[in-house]
Structure 1
């Protein structure tokens, strides 16, 4: 996670303290809410229009959180509000990059931790031109440089409630938006966070239009395979003798099912990852038809060098493994990690192509590739 501090400004302290409570609206009762904007899939935020701007409520800003955080965005900002459109933004995760690209606001990014992870060609032009400050590694952010940038807003994320530097930053008056897109379990729920980015740049209509198109394409692709036979699918790989896989109700599990696949562990529910032994997965999934996203492996020879037992799986023997790790940006960032959350329609199209193409068909893939030898 990336963290910053700034000059103390006591007038902001009471505002941000009031934001972090069970009924944040009590702190701004003088502001009239005029409408509630539609949020169809995402569970992590709510949006309302208020006089001259928007009210954003972040629900459960990190896993297992019971907190609610609120930010008001105004075109003519009062003390304690965030002025929109945002002109200077710091982001902390590559998943924050695609919304900037889709909304054509890439020039607003002024800082990012370890810019080599960013793959977007549009954003790399700004980075290469020196317009985006590299703020260092995630846990060692250059605080002096961050202070000098004077951002209008920092988009962060929380793994848990232990976020002391974010809290110090809020006390100091720098607005922080906790982005919880990565906790959404529905694929379209993750993509729907573009609506949050839309209000930052006062581009509500554009953001809703982009999401509506992604949703329409996703649902059309899902419907196209509804009546087809479902091949069985396994995912993941071992790390230090433990095989990590997505839960059946997870983002990845939902994508496999919506693509017309039958995920071996589709009945499981939870957050995080399943963790099984090689023996358990071999018993459950030895005859699975396809194997998706085998960790960072890009070749069959790599896998065999690590564990000869992989060759016992039917999908391995028939060379039906597909990886996202081969597609990287100019500086080594994995494109899937950056863009897949915002483009579940393209991920779904890839999986449908993998599961349901006829032999000899050569359909375009956006994120996945067959493993090399």
Structure 2
């Protein structure tokens, strides 16, 4: 009987052991992907969306370039959840662990978002580092923490693959980029940032939330954007109080065509919010308007202010390019303003880097130029008069 009792005890012990092992194994099974998805609501940006569930986020680029017929979907999984989540990779254009530890971006407009979020040290490579103006990121370039990757049209993929970033943030004109296809085939996700396609200044700035999602800094990104939005709207309200709106001309000739913002462009929105009379504010169009010199001269000869005359950096270079420019009243009165003379240490134009992320500063600049009495103590950040 004792032998039978011993056998029963052994069988019970074995059963408990098997049960314990089964429980341990069950805990290692992939976590169920919850389907109760909640979508983030953005105030202005339409080009991307973020949906959340209990385990990870899905970031979708809806409008990576003008008239895009394809969207891109990325799974953003917190590093601590990587081992417990199984996804079908065929459903995504990239499965990315967050927060990002090594990144490559390809436009200077991406630099301010990294700096505002305090994660610029994760940047390991950039094509055309001389275009970067920020002192903080330039210090990292000088310390060789950020590698030069050549030109955007032909990124040095050999150096990039050596750096092994977890993601490359690019931008597409039409989706045909052989370099990006090579990078994707190597296993590195390429995310198309479409901030430049957005229709308003604040929509462009809201793309800081795109980077916030990559770094698990959603709350910080929201807070930063809210501050920019408030500063922008406060400036807009201030400008709305003036009764006299100066007339404004923009752009210049390129070969035989004068390019200037359409009335439905983000640039025209800035002029409207600055409460100025942009002479082409009622002319709708995709991108820039392309006009003849005669058409612009007829309408803009008497304009009070001339903003952003292409890349010309002085009244002299403007005159040398075309003697007829001197016939505009704004030229005669020296009320021509541009951002091209405000550059970083290696010649990068600050406006092209920071202007997208900080529309509040751009708006204040225009208000200072057009309504100087409203901001008596303010020093313009980008726009300066041509000498």
Moved more, 152-161 or 163-172: 163-172
Judged with a 3 Å threshold, the aligned counterparts in structure 2 of structure 1 residues 111 and 216 are, in CA distance, closer, same or farther, namely: same
Distance in 1 between residues matched to 2:225 and 2:371, nearest whole Å: 26
For 2:65, what is the secondary structure of its paired residue? coil
For 2:306, what is the secondary structure of its paired residue? strand
The corresponding residue for 1:262 is 277
1:345 Cα shift?
Answer: 0.3
Which of the pair is proportionally richer in helix? 2
Q: Tell me the alpha carbon deviations over residues 318-355 of structure 1, each in whole angstroms, 9 at most, x when there is no partner.
A: 11111100000001000000000000000000001111
Moved more, 180-189 or 69-78: 69-78
1:53 Cα shift?
Answer: 2.9
TM-score (norm. length: structure 2): 0.86
Distance in 1 between residues matched to 2:304 and 2:348, nearest whole Å: 29
Give 5+ residue unaligned stretches, structure 1. 1-28
CA contact (8 A) 2:64 2:197 kept: no
The corresponding residue for 1:21 is none
TM-score (norm. length: structure 1): 0.89
The corresponding residue for 1:11 is none
Distance in 2 between residues matched to 1:360 and 1:317, nearest whole Å: 25
1:123 aligns with 2:126: no
1:175 Cα shift?
Answer: 1.0
The corresponding residue for 2:65 is 62
For 1:227, what is the secondary structure of its paired residue? coil
CA contact (8 A) 1:39 1:47 kept: no
1:108 Cα shift?
Answer: 0.3
| Number of residues of Structure 1 aligned to a counterpart in Structure 2 | 344
Kindly report which structure 2 residues correspond to 1:50-89, keeping only aligned pairs within 5 A, or say none: 50-75=53-78, 76-77=81-82, 78=85, 80=89, 81-89=95-103
C-alpha RMSD over aligned residues: 1.7
1:173 Cα shift?
Answer: 2.0
Kindly report which structure 2 residues correspond to 1:91-130, keeping only aligned pairs within 5 A, or say none: 91-130=105-144
CA contact (8 A) 2:117 2:220 kept: yes
CA contact (8 A) 2:133 2:353 kept: yes
Moved more, 228-237 or 328-337: 228-237
1:241 Cα shift?
Answer: 2.1
Distance in 1 between residues matched to 2:228 and 2:335, nearest whole Å: 28
The corresponding residue for 1:206 is 220
The corresponding residue for 1:338 is 353
1:155 aligns with 2:169: yes
Distance in 1 between residues matched to 2:240 and 2:373, nearest whole Å: 17
1:286 aligns with 2:289: no
The corresponding residue for 1:197 is 211
For 1:234, what is the secondary structure of its paired residue? strand
Q: Which structure's CA Rg is the greater one?
A: 2
The corresponding residue for 2:17 is none
Kindly report which structure 2 residues correspond to 1:241-260, keeping only aligned pairs within 5 A, or say none: 241-260=256-275
Distance in 2 between residues matched to 1:222 and 1:261, nearest whole Å: 11
Higher relative contact order (CA 8 A, sep 6+): 1
Distance in 2 between residues matched to 1:272 and 1:208, nearest whole Å: 29
Distance in 1 between residues matched to 2:290 and 2:75, nearest whole Å: 41
